[in-house]
Structures are given as C-alpha cells and as structure tokens.
Chains A and B, each alone.
Chain A
Amino acid sequence: MHSYTALRKNSTPYLLILPTVITMIIFSVYPFVSGILYSFTDIKFVGGTATWVGLENFTRLFGGKVNTSINFYKAFQKNILWTVCVIGGQLIIGYIAALLLNEKLPGQAIFRTLIMLPWAIPSVVMALTWQWMYDPFFGLINYYLKELGFIKEYITWVGQPNSTIWPLVIIGIWRGVPFLTLMLLSGLQSIPDELYEAAKVDGASVIQRFRYLTLPLMRPVTMVVLMLTTMWWWNSFDIQRVMTPVLSLGYNSMTLPILAWHEAFQWKHLGRGAAISVISLVVMFVFIIINARRELGDVKESR
C-alpha cells in the first residue's frame, strides 16, 4: 500500500508532463531523428521507399567537382556571409536604435511602436513588398536611385544569376533590427543610472561610458541575443525563397536551407537535402557549444 502511494506520488509529475513530452516526440524529436536517418538513405520523398546508402550523400556533397558539391560549397560560403552580414548589420543598427530609444526623447512611445513594424509584418507579405520595390523595371528603388543620380541604368537586384546577396542582406537587417533593439533596450534599462552618474562625476566622456560601462554590462544580453539570432538567420529560408523565383537558385544568394529545399523537394533527392540540413545543424551545434562553454567559463570566473 505504501509503495503504491509512493509510486502514485512519484509518478504524478511524470504523468502531468507526459502529453507535452509525447507532443514533443511526435512533432520535434521524431522529425529531427527521421531527418538524420534520411540523410543516410536514398529516399525520394517523405514516407517513400529508402535504401541505406551510408555516407554516400555526404561524400557527394564534399566530393569534388560534381554539381552537388559545387552547389554545396557555394551555398555554405554564402550562408556564412549571409549570417555574419545580417547579424552584424542588425547588431550595429539595433544598438544605435536601442541607445536612442533609451534616452528620454519626446515621442519615444511612437518610435518604439514604429520600430516594431518590420517585425510585425508577415514574412511573405514583407518579402513580396520588397520584391516589388526591387523590381528592375518598375521598382521604387531603381526609380529613386536613378532620380538621385546614383545609378545610370536600372539594376536587376534579386533573383537572377547576376544579382548579388546584398539586397537580401538589407531585407534581413531591416527585418531583424526590431527584435535586437527590443532585447538590447531591455538590457540597457536594467543598468542602474547611478553607474553612469558616478562615471560622469569621474569625468568619463560619452564614448568612455559606452566603452567601459555599457558594453561590458550588456555583454550577457548581447551574447544571448547573438546566439539566438545566429541560429535563426543561419537557418533563414523565407526571405530567400520568396525573393527568388522557383526555377532560379539565385546563385549568388543561395544559402544552405535554399539548396536543401531544392535538393529535397524540387530535385527529389530528399536524402541529400537531409544531409545538407544535418551538416548545417552540426555547424550550428559546434558554434553553440563553443559559445556556451565560453559563457559558462566567464560566469565561473566572475564568481
């Protein structure tokens, strides 16, 4: 009787979390594990027949002069460039915006609302709007750049082999700035005013206060934000997908998620698409581990 009561008591928490765990297994863990398994097969579509091919998908990706490999290396390089530039841009503009919004300015509430707009617009609506703005013939960007004398001829900005990744980077920065601003602003507001006042009394300039007070105190928030945004933007898919026509790889803007999608769903190499995702995941995982270890080390040191 005693053991039954103890069992009931001990099992209650597990029973309570069971629905969540089951849901997670079905919708997160199972697809995740399946994806890894698929990367070792020649499966053509989800639920289809598959033959175990070992590391063949990976060797083809890393294997020299075949098209798959050429695409993979291009996409890998572009993914790094994309992530670094988007996050770098977001961080710089986000910091500036957060510092401005942290000041007691008139109309501050309006600015705080306005800066959230890019974050609030649905991805596809946002991407389609930018697509029209970048239109080589009737887009606003070409029109104003020509009117202002910055360009002589209209430019094909996106979606073609000769277009670059930079127009998409601008969209990525524009899209992500609100989140960074909000997070950094909350971090800035947690720094006690007294510290700044003391620094002022000691004769520290604005730049010195930013360099020796704000930046070190903001470091934990910044690192968390960087880690989160790196994961998001490394895996970013919607902007590139909508801005690039289906039949165009967008050669200079082809990132790993786009290539994985083409391999898996357009070219019917689901196993190869899964392999690209696995490699992408491993890179992210390594980045996260290194970052987490460094952060944990810093926390221990500060104790």
Chain B
Amino acid sequence: MRSKFMPIITILFIASLVFSACTSTPTAAPQESVATEAPIEAPAESEEPAVTEAPAEPEEATTEPVKLSLYSLAWIQDNQDMTVELINQFNEEHKGKIEIEYIQGDWGEVENYITSGVAGGGGIADIVEGDTGMGLGWYDQGFLVDLTPYITDEIRATMPEEYWASRTARDGKVFLSGTVTGSEIIVFYSPAALEKAGIEPSSPDNLWSWEQLVENAKLLTLDANGKHLGEDGFDSANVAQWGFMPRLDNEKIWEEGQIFVMQATGQPMIRKGDDGVWDIFFDEAGIPVLESYLNIVNVGITPDKAIGLTGDSQNEAFAQGQAAMILRGYFNISVLKGLYPVFEFAVMPIPMSSENKEYYVDNWGQGFSIPVTSEHPAEAAEFIFWVQEAIQNAKYASSISMAPVNPDALQDPVLLDDPNWDTMRFYRSIEKLLVVEYNTNQSEFVTSVYAPTLMAVVSGEKTLDQAMEEIKALSKDILNQ
C-alpha cells in the first residue's frame, strides 16, 4: 500500500515545488537587489497627470460615478466622524462623478492590509491613510502610485516644502499627501493642582526648563498627608498624586525622547554622518536633556508603574487626580475631551531653553496614499489634495487635535477660536522644521536596540553611558543593512 502512494506523494511534492518556483520570483544568479534602491514602477496610468487624462474621457463616462474607497486610520471618534463628514461633503460636491466609501482601518493592521492587497493584485481601498515613515517603506516596495503628476502649483503651495520633503522618495516622487503633522507634544496639567501648589504654568513668556519642570513636579508629588517630595516626613511609599507621569515604554522613549534631544541639539538623532553612513548620534548638547528625561523615576516625580503604562491608564490617572502633569501628543486633547467631558485640564509647552527659544520638530506627518492597485488614481488624488485645502485641513486637524499641514488652516475659525491651540500657534511661531531623511531600518533599530536599552536606564539597571555604548555598538550594522 505504501509503495503505491509513495510515487503519488513524490509527484505531488515535485509539482508543488515547480508551482512555487513558477510563482515566486527568486533568481538563481546573484544580482543586486533593486527592491530597496529603486521603487518598482507604478502602472502607466498613474504616471499620466490628471490634467492630461481628463479630456480623453468621454462625457458619458461621468454619468456613472467613479467609485472609490478610503481606508481610514482614524481612531478617535471625532476624527472618524470628521473623515466621514469630509467624504460626504466631497461626494456631494462631486455628485455623479466621484463617490467615495469609508472603510475603518487600524494602525496595527494597515501594514498587512496594503502588503497583502498589493501582493494579491487588488481588493484594497483606492486611498490608504498612513504616515511619512510607513509611506516611504510602501513606496520603496512599489506599493504606491507616484502623486507628482497630480500636484499643481496651487496644491504645492498648500504645504511647506519641508513637509513635501518628508513625503518625497529618494527618486523625487511624492508618495503621500498631507493632513497633519504629529511630532508636537505638550504637557497636560491640572490647573487646580498647580494653583494649589502656587506654581505658574509654563508660557511663551516664561518657559520652563527641564530643571524647572523637575522642581515643580517635586512640589506636585504629594503623599496621602499632603506633604510634597523633599519635605520632611514625606511618605514615598504612599504617594497620592505624582508630579509628572509620561508614558515610559519602547514607543514613547523614542518618540518623545528624540523631541527633547532635538530641542537641545537642533538635529535629528538618526541621520547620516559626514561619511554618508547612517548612525545614531548622541550629541553632547542633548545628553543632559536625555539624562533628565530618563531619570524622572529615580528622582521620584514619576512612579515606576509609568513603565509600561498605556495611554488609557495614563489619562485615567490624570483625570482621577493621581497625576498633576502628563506628557502626550497634541491629539490627546480630543481623547481627553471625549473620555472626560467635565474634567478640567489645560496644556503648556514642553520644557525648553528660554534663552534659545526654538522649537525643533521633524517633518513627520500623516496623509493619504494611493496604492498601485487603484484603478482610478486621478480621482483618488483629487480627493486627497482637496482635504489638504485650508478649510478641510482645519476641520480634519481639529477633529484629531494634531497640527494641520496647511499653515492657513491655523487661522481658520475652527482652530483660531480654541485656546488649546494657542500652544500650537506658539510652537509654530518659533518652529524650526528639520528635514529628516527616513531610514527604513529605523523600526528594527528602535524596537530591538535603542528603546529597550534606554528603558533599562529608566528602570535603573544601566547607566546612560553604558546604554549609549551598547546602542552605538549595534547601530551602524542595523541602520545600514
């Protein structure tokens, strides 16, 4: 019996080998991989500008609207609602021509969504939301349409060149539109707690330095008897209110830490050196800032349970009065308002030097891309650049509480009348945008080396010097793969 089946099994195995060899495309001859060097050419249709395509289409074609779908990464209810509202408005304005359908996506799934969709040859949305880092990775792999042909001078003027730079691949092609920038972080504080401690919040005229933040946070760290950190009889085992509670985890130690360092150095941490080789740079001016930031648990103003804290838990602690100040992205204004409508909070700038009043921010941002599988890239482009116009951009930015890419949007009444946007306007007034070239191996480097090693500093297992040495030992190898 066994002898009868063996030939069949052998044939089936060989057939599957042949089958897989035919469909996957490994090449036997050693040759230089072009996948990361140059993006795969987008389909011919995407290379044609919208303006040249439009006249070729017969009038009758517009009677049946072009149907598109949009994969949204909105995770805040207001932002989801606003994206739907903008889509409805666009559909109304383009009735009979273009009709867009909203698909709720997820930040954790979008990578698999677009990868499997493009590999499978379709079945995914015509417009996919993403950010500059993700977008570059997708473009490098040939997943995205080149948007350059659809960008008129008028559209080009809606966004500063630095933001276009972060949305432009090494070959000069634009792969992502702009909605918001996201690196701006702020200190959320409880006005009641600061008032009780007699502390004036940081303001454009009286900016807190890191030392001031730590000293003020000590006054705000209270035990159950109302004594503050440093006061005689302070019970450190029974803290009722912590002075400062950022999220200390792999994600934030990188995202927020690099912003603090940039304030001091004016340079991105991961960049190419003079020799053109990628590396991480611990510039001298940034080390004291990094040290202050990583030392907050040891100083006693932050609980060690802030290590691994989720955003939800952090907000809950803040709303319940267990933390007087927290550190979050601007978007958290929307989150807090949604979760705790009656809770009173305010926002202030992050610590920075009063002498050198400059706010450095990288040009990271969000926007929309068009996968190469889209059959209607011109129509999709029409929508994504329509959202970039000041009025729409202001609505979108307001709903997600992140800075709009279009400078005119900040002067729109939607944002002008909201005092929470004053800090953002202040940031913008002193902002120095850093054009940061994105390294596609950054994710591996940050996730597996940079963040876990610095987290060991936070928990007191390593010194910053040890950590920097360990990180430098591996950085070049990973970042230059």
Contact = CB atoms under 8 A, between A and B. Distances in A.
Interface of A: 14, 21, 25, 29-30, 33-34, 37-38, 40-53, 65-67, 70-71, 135-138, 142, 152-163, 245-249, 251, 262, 265-269
Contacts, number: 171
B474 interface: yes
B251 A245 contact: yes
A51 B35 CA distance: 10
Given A30-B16, A46-B116, A48-B141, A265 B313 contact: no
Between A41, A70, A138, A142, the greatest number of chain B beta carbons within 10 A of the residue's beta carbon is seen for A138
Contacts of B25: 48-50
Nearest to A28: B16
B251 A248 contact: yes
A25 B15 contact: yes
Contact of A136 (B21, B30, B112, B305): B305
B10 interface: no
Contacts of A51: 26-27, 30-33
Given A44-B35, A137-B309, A138-B316, A37 B477 contact: no
Contacts of A246: 108
Interface of B: 8, 12-13, 15-17, 19-21, 23-36, 40, 108, 111-112, 115-116, 118-120, 137, 141-142, 237, 249-251, 254, 303-305, 307-310, 313, 316-317, 440-441, 443-449, 451-452, 455-456, 459, 461, 473-474, 477-478
State the main secondary structure of chain B at its contact with A: helix
Between A21, A30, A48, the greatest number of chain B beta carbons within 10 A of the residue's beta carbon is seen for A48
A45 B141 contact: yes
Given A47-B118, A248-B451, 20 more contacts: A25-B12, A25-B16, A30-B16, A47-B119, A48-B119, A52-B30, A136-B307, A137-B305, A137-B317, A138-B316, A153-B237, A160-B307, A160-B308, A162-B456, A247-B249, A247-B251, A262-B447, A262-B448, A265-B115, A266-B443
A247 B446 contact: yes
B469 to A, nearest CB: 14
B76 to A, nearest CB: 18
Nearest to A162: B459
A248 B249 contact: yes
Contact of B451 (A42, A46, A154, A247): A247
Contact of A160 (B17, B116, B250): B250
A10 B27 CA distance: 41
A24 to B, nearest CB: 8
A98 B306 CA distance: 42
A49 B474 contact: no
A283 B461 CA distance: 34
Nearest to B454: A161
A267 B441 contact: yes
Nearest to B440: A268
Contact of A38 (B24, B440, B447, B455): B24
A166 to B, nearest CB: 15
Contacts of B477: 66-67
Between A34, A43, A268, the greatest number of chain B beta carbons within 10 A of the residue's beta carbon is seen for A268
Given A44-B141, A248-B251, A262-B447, A29 B119 contact: no
Contacts of A40: 26
Nearest to B313: A137
Nearest to A271: B26
A71 B478 CA distance: 12
Contacts of B317: 137
Contacts of A44: 35-36, 141
Contacts of A65: 473
B121 to A, nearest CB: 8
A235 B147 CA distance: 42
Contacts of B254: 247
Contacts of A157: 308
A137 B26 contact: no
29 contacts: A25-B19, A33-B17, A33-B20, A37-B20, A37-B26, A42-B35, A44-B35, A45-B141, A47-B119, A48-B142, A49-B40, A52-B30, A66-B474, A136-B309, A136-B313, A137-B305, A152-B237, A153-B303, A154-B303, A155-B305, A156-B305, A157-B308, A159-B308, A160-B250, A162-B455, A162-B459, A266-B447, A267-B444, A268-B141
